[in-house]
Amino acid sequence: MPQTFGERILYIWERYSGSFMRGAANTMVIALISTFIGCIIGFIVGIIQTIPTDRKKNPVKWFIIGIIKFILNVYVEVFRGTPMMAQAMFIYFGSAALFNINMGMWQAAFFIVSINTGAYMAETVRGGILSIDPGQTEGAKAIGMTHVQTMVNVILPQALRNIMPQIGNNLIINIKDTCVLSVIGIVELFYTTKGIAGALYTYFEAFAITMVIYFILTFACSRILRFWEDKMDGPDNFDLATTDTLAHTSGMYSYKAKTAGNLNSDSREGR
């Protein structure tokens, strides 16, 4: 074993770089897929939580949606209020003990991270929807749009841009928090590093490499998401359309100077 710190890091990397890369790949697969599924869950839950109901106009609808909202609120509060490691242990081992459901490690990993992300995204989506000016909804309803049409065509496109930073934050958090899945045996980056460090008794050096890998993954994802946000903003300057048939430049109208004897004449051509 080399004597200096730098030499030991190079030795570990040369010997176990493949294991580090496989662990990092597993981490990214879990984080990306689970964040995507979690965002879908969050959008569904957030939209349902913002459905307007009127007890006087439709008491049955108000009662049914009220029960659904209560159940979703319990889901959100439970998964936001408990650590993911405890959730992983409870779901992976508890599902087999209580419900005789034998989940595979990878199935459990995707399920745990997805529903945890969904709980956080639900509140993010709800806040994003409520942040949109109510006049947007009133205008859409005024032209005959239903609630679903208003959400899909007016509110959600604006809310999506507002919550994009939080979606990026959830992805970065998931990249780091997949390390808790080591408690159920998922061989991700942290689990891999523990094995390498324990084999060589080089915890400081092995985890130094792991920290660098985590930083590269999170930094790259944050830059990509920031680029995506800038694209969603569009250009800084917008050119006004000059081809409107009602505009003066189209030649449809003739603005003749009115004389004293022709004050009431029509300015349109041919009149």
- Can you give the length of the chain in residues? 271
Cα dihedral across residues 223, 229, 232, 236: positive or negative: negative
Confidence class of residue 61 from pLDDT cuts 50, 70 and 90?
confident
The letter for the amino acid at 10 is L
What DSSP state is assigned to residue 3? S
Question: Residue 270: is its pLDDT beyond 50?
Answer: no
Confidence class of residue 188 from pLDDT cuts 50, 70 and 90?
very high
Higher model confidence: residue 77 or residue 241? 77
Question: Residue 232: is its pLDDT beyond 50?
Answer: yes
**Tokens 């294991």 sit on residue:** 19
The predicted structure's pLDDT at residue 234: 65
Gap between the Cα atoms of 147 and 157, Å rounded: 14
Question: Residue 194: is its pLDDT beyond 80?
Answer: yes
The predicted structure's pLDDT at residue 271: 43
Residue 259's region, left for phi above 0, alpha for psi from -120 to 50, else beta, is: beta
Secondary structure, 3-state, 118-178: HHHHHHHHHHHHHCCCHHHHHHHHHCCCCHHHHHHHHHHHHHHHHHHHHHHHHHHHHHHHH
Q: Which residues of 86-101 are buried (b: 16+ CB within 10 A; e: fewer)?
A: ebbeebbeeeeeeeee
**Rounded to whole angstroms, what are the CA distances from 112 to 14, 30, 84?**
34, 10, 8
Q: Which structure tokens are listed for 116? A: 């945890």
Residue range 83-104, pLDDT digits in tens = 999 999 999 988 877 888 888 8
Element (H, E) at 94: helix 84-99
The letter for the amino acid at 236 is D
Gap between the Cα atoms of 159 and 261, Å rounded: 58
Gap between the Cα atoms of 31 and 173, Å rounded: 9
Of 220, 222, 195, which Cα lies nearest the Cα of 207? 195
Q: Which structure tokens are listed for 216? A: 């590269």
The predicted structure's pLDDT at residue 242: 54
Gap between the Cα atoms of 154 and 156, Å rounded: 6
3-state helix vs strand vs coil in the chain, percent to 5: 75, 0, 25
Confidence class of residue 238 from pLDDT cuts 50, 70 and 90?
low
Question: Residue 249: is its pLDDT beyond 70?
Answer: no
